């Protein structure tokens, strides 16, 4: 019974001649769709869109990123032209904050409230907001002895700063004091400081509150 399948297998091999195989292959080639030449349009379209986005994105960044300056945020930066910097005019009070922070803050504090019983406050002080001639003299030559500020007594020494600070630095610092912490008084100009400096050039000692009170309001 096993001889019959073997006989059928040999018959099938005999029928599978080279000609028949070629005919089957030819029929398969005819039924298989031919591959179109070139590249598909959809991928090309996507590639073109990506290139367009990159191109125009680069142009936008070049005109709006300040030339990729790492210090992008700048109060003096001008966005009218990439990388351009225009000078922003600051008030004397704004300029004076730096002088105050480096020269006065240790005693009078960032709040302008001073140190109770030791250093008088500048915030709300009648001295800070009063006669500019008096406060210029205090900064130039210092102050020594008893002093009353907002009804409270102080008795300490303020060192003279006339030999350390220039006229414009003194003017800016005093302008900052007179415009901060609720104070409201006119700014002090370098010309006013220079005038008082020249008028008191012979002064070699500290001022006292009693002397300063003789100067007009």
pTM of the model: 0.61
Q: What is the mean pLDDT of residues 8-34?
A: 58
> What CATH number does domain 92-212 carry, 1.10.760.10, 3.40.50.2300, 1.20.1250.20, 3.40.50.2000?
1.10.760.10
Higher pLDDT, residue 138 or 71: 138
Q: What is the mean pLDDT of residues 130-135?
A: 95
Q: What is the pLDDT of residue 59?
A: 77
Q: Is the pLDDT of residue 176 over 60?
A: yes
Q: What is the pLDDT of residue 22?
A: 65
Cα–Cα dist 107/122, whole Å: 10
Q: Percentage of residues in the chain with pLDDT exceeding 90?
A: 56
Q: What is the mean pLDDT of residues 59-64?
A: 69
**Which range is least confidently modeled, 38-47, 175-184, 195-204?**
38-47
* Residue for token pair 């009693």: 210
For the chain, give every domain's residue range: 46-88, 92-212
User: Each residue of 26-54: pLDDT tens digit?
Assistant: 666 666 555 555 556 667 778 888 888 88
Average pLDDT, rounded, for the chain? 82
Q: Are strands 143-149 and 152-158 parallel, antiparallel or unpaired?
A: antiparallel
Q: Say if residues 206 and 160 touch (Cβ distance below 8 Å).
A: yes
């Amino acid at each position: 019974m096993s001889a019959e399948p073997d006989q059928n297998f040999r018959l099938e091999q005999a029928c599978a001649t080279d000609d028949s195989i070629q005919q089957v292959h030819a029929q398969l080639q005819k039924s298989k769709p031919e591959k179109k030449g070139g590249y598909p349009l959809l991928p090309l379209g996507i590639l073109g869109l990506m290139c367009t986005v990159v191109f125009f994105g680069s142009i936008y960044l070049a005109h709006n990123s300040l030339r990729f300056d790492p210090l992008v945020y700048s109060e003096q930066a001008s966005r009218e032209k990439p990388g351009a910097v225009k000078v922003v005019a600051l008030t004397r009070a704004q300029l004076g904050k730096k002088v105050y922070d480096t020269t006065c803050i240790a005693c009078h504090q960032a709040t302008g409230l001073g140190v109770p019983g030791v250093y008088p406050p500048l915030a709300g002080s009648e001295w800070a907001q009063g006669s500019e001639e008096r406060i210029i003299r205090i900064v130039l030559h210092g102050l020594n002895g008893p002093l009353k500020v907002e009804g409270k007594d102080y008795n300490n020494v303020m060192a003279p700063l006339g030999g350390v600070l220039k006229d414009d630095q003194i003017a800016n610092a005093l302008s900052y004091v007179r415009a901060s912490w609720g104070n409201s008084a006119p700014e002090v100009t370098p010309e006013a400081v220079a005038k008082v400096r020249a008028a008191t050039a012979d002064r070699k000692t500290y001022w006292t509150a009693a002397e300063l009170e003789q100067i007009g309001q």
